[in-house]
Amino acid sequence: MASQDWFDKDFYKVLGVSKDVTPAELKKVYRKLARKYHPDSNPGDAAAEAKFKEISEAHSVLGDPEQRKEYDQIRAMGSGARFTAPGSAGQGGFDDVFGGMFGQGGGARGYTTQQGGNFDDVFSGLFGNGGFGSSSGGYRGYGGPTRGRDVTAHTTIDFLTATRGETITLQASDGKPIKVKIPAGVADGQKIKLRGKGQPSPDGGEAGDIVLTVSVRKHPVFERDGLNLRVNVPVTFTEAALGATIEVPTLGGDPVKLRVAPGTPSGRVLRVKGRGVQTAKGTGDLLAVVQVAVPSHLSAEAEEALKSFAEKLPDENPRDDLLARARG
């Protein structure tokens, strides 16, 4: 994104959060909004797609600690401060330059450009010791090379690809393919930086980067829990009470057999070692969460048998401890 736009857009307002929002809270809000307005959830809805791009743009800045710091500093200067990035005079907006840069299948893609280098360096040069110099890129003054602008982009991948990792291809507007290696275990909302793949420098300096934000589609069965995979497994009352050996699905593989011990309650977690997400940092487990399934229809004979069974149970109320603790 061009720094000019940072004066005019209130990203905190776009996401509906306060300026002191924590990274965890910001991520939670963004995920909720992204799910609501994602084009896959609103096919053909141009307003939802525009809103999705707007919240993605806001999160791409506020979700990056360095960019958020720069954004806050720029906004703190007030709307009266204006400047143009080097090399942009007489050209269209930055969105015109990179319009439609990315596209891949039916997934949503977004893009913005941002000022390369560090804003602290730019403004300390303007208001500090009287020189324009900066050693970290960006505008260096006195004819020094300018770092190309970064480009932010978005892609959506399926759950299995995010878990195992894969090399995907993004299509640039000039027809050139850009290969991106998705690491195993990439999380929803995680950013991948492609160094030197952004906008070229206008005067022979270092090229900018592409900062790719990855959205991961939900799986109908499995859910990420760090490096672990969590799955809810229904069992019958008889299996939970008497014990049983059951089959549990694994991600992209054959089911595994697990032993349910007699008297297993609903909510107990059975662990399968090494069947979670495999990354360079480690391998997670498969967590099977037992859910006791209650039959919705009983025959008259089964109902009578169940009543007879209930009469033989100890006269205990399983909620006695709960009620006592609630009373303090």
- List, for residues 69-116, the tens digit of each pLDDT value: 888 887 776 544 444 433 333 333 333 333 333 444 433 334 333 434
How far is C-alpha 302 from the chain's CA centre? 48
- Return all residues near 240 (Cβ < 8 A) that are at least 6 apart: 260, 263, 264, 265, 266, 290, 292
Q: What is the pLDDT of residue 5?
A: 61
What does the block give as tokens for 219?
């799986």
Encoded amino acid at 235, one letter:
V
Question: CA-CA distance, 157 to 161, in Å (whole number)?
Answer: 6
- Secondary structure element (H or E) that encloses residue 159, with its range: helix 159-164
CA-wise closest residue to 154 among 204, 226, 216 = 216
Which domains are seen in the chain, by residue range?
A: 3-99+106-149+195-208 (1.10.287.110), 223-327 (2.60.260.20)
Average pLDDT across the chain, whole number: 78
- The C-alpha torsion from 147 through 112 and 155 to 211, rounded to 10°, is 30
What does the block give as tokens for 212?
């790719």
pTM: 0.51
Task: Pick out the chain residues at pLDDT < 70.
Answer: 1-7, 77-144, 172-175
Answer yes or no: are the C-beta atoms of 178 and 172 closer than 8 Å: yes
Instruction: HSE, CB side, 13 Å, CA atoms: give it for residue 171.
Output: 9
- Secondary structure element (H or E) that encloses residue 268, with its range: none
Q: What is the pLDDT of residue 45?
A: 87
The string of pLDDT tens digits covering residues 133-175 is 333 444 444 446 888 888 888 889 999 999 999 998 887 656 6
